[in-house]
């Protein structure tokens, strides 16, 4: 295997993204001490647009595109992504070379004044960037007010600390990676807050190259097979239903011995309609298990529920653009 003299990792410039890139850099440096590994920090469209939810500005790919351009132009050799931010289908010429061992996949309740969602008074404002979390909270706590929360991790915590929200819901993995586990007041059990596909997992994306350097082989020692298998099952459910962040969808798999347990949920953003399904099967048949659970959801009219979500999202976008035009403000380019 040919080890290059230099590798460049493309990364978003948020503190969490740079921690993730540095984590990969450190591991590669230990594996290949003769190779200089550096980080190319970049700002993506997803980082720049903070006044609207991801579902209204182009989806998960907004965090990935600029990094792929850097790799295509030869300015970077690989990119580190949160797997839940990666589109279900990668562009031609790119592959997912490795999936790292999963961190805590659970959602975290963060508040300066309250110990849990149960402790929040009626009318309290809860912040989340996720339609999935919004639906789950709305279904169990209709008395709470749920408002969008965008920005990197520090920005979100800052909004909480300024009193804009009574509580916010974040991925536990990011808080733990940045040494902020003390901010977590409660970890939400998957039974009540089923995680997003791939939540807590890092993935390495590489371009297909013709210079004799086998990037996938170089990154193979970082690959964690069990984490890859559960991600395959979880993402297959999402892929069947379009893999969009415009739909409240959750899927979460665990492995016990040689068996995998996969649970999934789809809902309307207001939590009024929610269906779930689960199945068990051989872990090595992860994709088939994902298809099985997706079909169980489809049998419960998941397609109609998700179509209603997309229709509502389109109507909301049209209304927002009409309001901007009426106010004399050009509609934002999503």
Identify the active-site residue in 47, 77, 85, 104: 85
Backbone angles phi, psi at 294, to 5 degrees: -60, -40
Residue 85 annotated in active site: yes
Just list the catalytic residues: 85
């Amino acid at each position: 295997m040919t080890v290059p003299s230099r590798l460049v990792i493309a990364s978003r410039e948020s503190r969490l993204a740079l921690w993730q890139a540095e984590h990969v850099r450190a591991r590669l440096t230990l594996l290949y001490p003769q190779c200089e590994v550096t980080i190319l920090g970049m700002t993506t469209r997803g980082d720049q647009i903070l006044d609207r939810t991801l579902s209204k500005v182009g989806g998960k790919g907004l965090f990935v595109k600029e990094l792929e351009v850097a790799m295509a132009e030869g300015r970077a050799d690989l990119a580190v992504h949160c797997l839940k931010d990666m589109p279900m289908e990668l562009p031609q010429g790119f592959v997912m070379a490795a999936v790292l061992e999963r961190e805590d996949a659970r959602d975290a309740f963060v508040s300066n004044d309250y110990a849990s969602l149960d402790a929040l008074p009626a009318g309290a404002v809860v912040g989340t960037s996720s339609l999935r979390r919004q639906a789950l909270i709305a279904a169990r706590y209709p008395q709470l007010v749920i408002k969008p929360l965008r920005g990197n991790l520090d920005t979100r915590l800052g909004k909480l600390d300024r009193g804009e929200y009574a509580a916010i819901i974040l991925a536990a993995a990011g808080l733990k990676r940045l040494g902020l586990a003390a901010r977590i007041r409660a970890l939400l059990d998957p039974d009540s807050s089923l995680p997003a596909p791939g939540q807590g997992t890092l993935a390495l994306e590489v371009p297909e190259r013709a210079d004799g350097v086998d990037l996938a082989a170089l990154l193979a020692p970082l690959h964690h097979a069990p984490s890859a298998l559960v991600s395959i099952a979880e993402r297959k459910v999402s892929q069947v239903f379009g893999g969009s962040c415009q739909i409240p969808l959750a899927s979460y798999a665990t492995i016990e011995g040689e068996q995998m347990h996969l649970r999934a949920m789809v809902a309307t953003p207001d939590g009024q309609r929610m269906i779930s399904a689960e199945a068990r099967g051989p872990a090595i048949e992860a994709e088939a298990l994902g298809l099985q659970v997706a079909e169980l959801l489809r049998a419960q009219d998941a397609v109609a529920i998700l179509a209603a979500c997309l229709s509502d999202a389109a109507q909301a976008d049209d209304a927002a653009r009409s309001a901007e035009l009426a106010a004399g403000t050009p509609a934002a380019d999503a």
